[in-house]
Structure 1
Amino acid sequence: MKFFGNVSLGRQLLYLITIMLVVLLLSFVVTNIIAQQIVEQKVTESTNKILLQVEESVESFYGDMEGISYSLLYSPTIQSYLSADDVLDRILMNSDIEAQFSSTTSLKDTIKGIQIYNSSGEMIGSIGEMTHETEAKTTEIISYSGVYEGQGRLNKYYTIAVPIYNLKSDRFIRDYRGMCLFIMDVSNFETILRKSKITENAQLLLLDQHGQVIVSASNTDVEAKDREQLRLGGSEEIVQTIALPDTGWELISVIPKQELFEDMNVIWRLNIATYAIVFLLLCLFMATFYSRLLRPIKALMEFVRTYPKKGRQSRFSIRYYNEIGVLGGSLNQMLDDIDALSESIQLAQKQMYETELSKNRMELAVYRHQINPHFLYNTLEAIRGLALYNKVHDLADITSSLSSMYRYSVKGDNAVTVWDELVHLRQYATIIQFRFRGKIQIQIEADEQLYSKPALKMLLQPLVENAVFHGLEKKIAPGTAVVSITALDEHRIQYVIQDDGCGIEQDKLEQLRASWGQFRLVGQAEMKESSQGIGLTNIYRRLKLYYGEAASMELESERDKGTTVTITFDVREKLE
């Protein structure tokens, strides 16, 4: 950020545009890469599901073939044919065997031939297509051969070898009677694979256990015959393989990435076009910014730089009526106002200088006539000592209380504790009780847990003094002022000063409350006070100046019944 703060506005804009273009280009590239990865992932998942479905179809086909083979080979006709040792008996049964073979081939179009061998591996019956001589003639389990070409080399075949056992033999001792070989056409697999292709140019292949291609679903003119010719594993193709456990064959899916991302190429070209348009728009914005904003700003800066040399009468020439023109007009108006204010300021400074001189003279006069507080303390202590010497204890107590009150009022900060306020109030109560000879009583009710709480200095005593001289002194009968200090919650304290004096008339009460509202409106402005409300108004002013809205003061009074003043403040407020 410091680097940008030290270069010109034009360079800052150029850097920002460059950063925007780089970020936009990176976002296009990253978005395209992420999109390709997502497409590749989704296609891989879909291909895997399709391969599993193809596997199910192939397994289902072989399940059908096992059922067909069992119904054929364990029929009484085949069992009798294999059990016959006489060649003549077999010749007599040939018609039945051929009928059985014919009905079996009609169940599946892909069954192109059936051959049956005895336990010695000698073929004793056949129908349809013949196999290679290299094919095995005995087997103990169902096995599947690799692919091979027929005699006409137009079709491809594979075989399914199924062992034949004697049904009447003991289940623990299997009596091997021979083997049946089914010659199968691969055309049905081609149909299954073609239906399962994801894209037009994708390849879906079925390979035998020797890696030879049994059948493939592909649009290419040149078809691979084995795994080596497929050249799998290239970076331009998505290759997935799944093995068929029963046969040892495998399914292979080969999808060209280029075909998958053809639509992505359209988006990529659209991104390039968008990037070019954004680049042109930013260049147009840069040119407009320089001609309509940067050049006028430079002209304005040049005027400000040369203004002290040209003199106070020079003004900025407005050539543009946009925001820069408004700014130039405001600058000219400001210069005019400065010229007008300069003369006013000079005159005001002259008047302030003369006023300050008069104020200093008055302060000097006040300082000369000030009473030294120490002189007053010493005088009161001398009076107290003289009273004790003459055994006038009442006078000594009053003098001690007066000295302590005066010392408390003129020394220290505004922040005191509740205990300090109560001590000061008790000293005042001592003087009042002596003066009025018990006619006026001051009672104090305070929670001891609040003694250490911070409070504003000189709140309680002025309020009690106001109650004594404006309420209780005018009353003929004895009177009482009750001071209670309680905690409203953990952070707020409440003072309540209640007297049973003469009270305040309703109109004067309303005037007093109105003066408090005036202070809230005008802040620290001077307020006119009635003689009866000077103490209350001063306390309200001090309370608001130090506590603000965290403090409140309420006044309730009724004629000939008394007055109640309630003060609430927050002990969390810091006093200075």
Structure 2
Amino acid sequence: MMRILDLFRKMSLMRQILFLILMMLIILLISFIISNTIAGGIIERKVTVSVDKILQQVMEKMESFYSDMGGISTSLLYGPTIENFLDSDDLTRILMNNEVNSVFANTINLKENIRGIHLYDKDGKLVAGIGAGTGDAVKSPAARIEYSGILSQPNTNVTLTYYSIAFPIYNFKSELLRDYKGTSVFVMNTENFNHILKNAKMTAHSRFLLLDQNNKIMASEGDTRRFDTFDPSVWKNDKRYIYQSAVLPRTGWKLISIIPKNELLQDLDVIQRLNIVTYLIMFGMLCLFLFLFFTRIMKPIKALMDFIKSYPKKGGEHRFNVVVHNEIGMLAVNLNKMLDKIDSLGNEIQLAQRQMYEIEIAKKQAEISAFRNQINPHFLYNTLECIRALALYNKGEEIADISASLSNMFRYSVKGNDFVTIRDEISHVKEYANIIELRFMRRIRVEIEAEEGLLGKKMLKMLLQPIVENAVFHGLEKKRGKGIVQLTVHSLSDNRIRYTVQDNGCGMDERLVQELLQRLRNSDALVPAVKDDMQGIGLPNIYRRIKLFYGDAAEMDIQSQLNSGTMISISIPVHENAEHEVGTNRG
């Protein structure tokens, strides 16, 4: 080691730098190879652990499916109808056949993937059934619940998407330990397994499969169109794939995950090639740099450094003697100029700092002035409360009511939260309705109907009142006689809530309705709307807001008949904690 150090010291500076650069490149290349190998192993291990968790989750979903089918079969097979049917003679069974079929039909409706139910007596004879069949006889007696594999069309080689579950039926009222009464066979569709396997894929070309006992594919995620019968051993021994499997204990079915390794490591391959190219380019550039550095830079810089070291001692008007006229020479010239301007630059810096300080003070004063000129919302609240108190004192109850409603509406509108409960939004509409009823001498009335269970749900603020206002001023204000605005809130089956505002006002013809719908739904509807004398700015702004927050999940529909009224409905998803999801609480 000491000998190597002695040899290194005897080398020229050029060779020392070159040696160090080469050692650095070699060490970095070795480090990259090692880190790339380790990273590949880590990725494979993490993917393996992730797939194990996915397999466990799928197995838990399958176990839940088994439990559901067990509960359905117990409720059906040990009910009085099936027990009486199996205990009766052939003639009675014929009379009960319609009743049994009705029970079977009701059971099929419980799960959409049940395609048929068939009942066999203790001798294995088919005594009742509806829907698709298996085409096979049953074992008599069946020892336990048995799950078949993929079924084939009877007398053909056509593979169906069905499988069967055989449930043995026992008489638990008998003194015998296992008094076998018959077997019920449920014919099931495999489509529900596709739902269970959904989102189980790890990469674009990976495969996730559910195989039966004969290795036939029952359900899959990924490209499995080339396979009918799947041979796990072929894929398990293929080093190009990460193969993992799990056996479902009740059925003997297999869960298979196959992930191409090249998809997991392709980013590492790109980085590896990029690094090799980079190292080669760096080596060439470093060689060129070394030559220029020592011939055109090192010597001039050394002279310049000597001058800089000596300047504090000499000071004054001492300047560097420029010999070369390259960049180093320009640096020396600029250094001389810099020394000439040190004093003036110091004065200029002080002047600039003073000016910046004065500008900042002026800016703060302007901000303070702007704050002083702002209207304090609490001043308006207090003023409205004062008007209300004076109205009550002078027995002007209607003035007090309309002042209180206006105060509540203003207070609600300036609150910072973008999301409020449906209860709060309806309360805001009621305050508006109170003002409208007083203004129009009870000629216009607002009726509200909402499901009690929805009042605590969250919704976008200020959605309903502008629609009600639109109905009043564009539908009912010009109408002769009494007008009604009906606001209803109810839930939909797809986890959405529909808000409907309907009036019996002037309405619109079909052409105007279509023009309004087109204006709302074209691409320009997502920018702030320009005021329109017919529809106002309420509907375009509301459509824009629900589309910005909910995207395609939000819908707005308009139906209207001339001289009959208009109905506007909005359907948006249910949100329990919308404020935290979108982060719109601005205080």
Give me the TM-score of the superposition, normalised by structure 1.
0.49
Q: If you compute each CA radius of gyration, which structure gives the higher value, 1 or 2?
A: 1
Give me the TM-score of the superposition, normalised by structure 2.
0.48
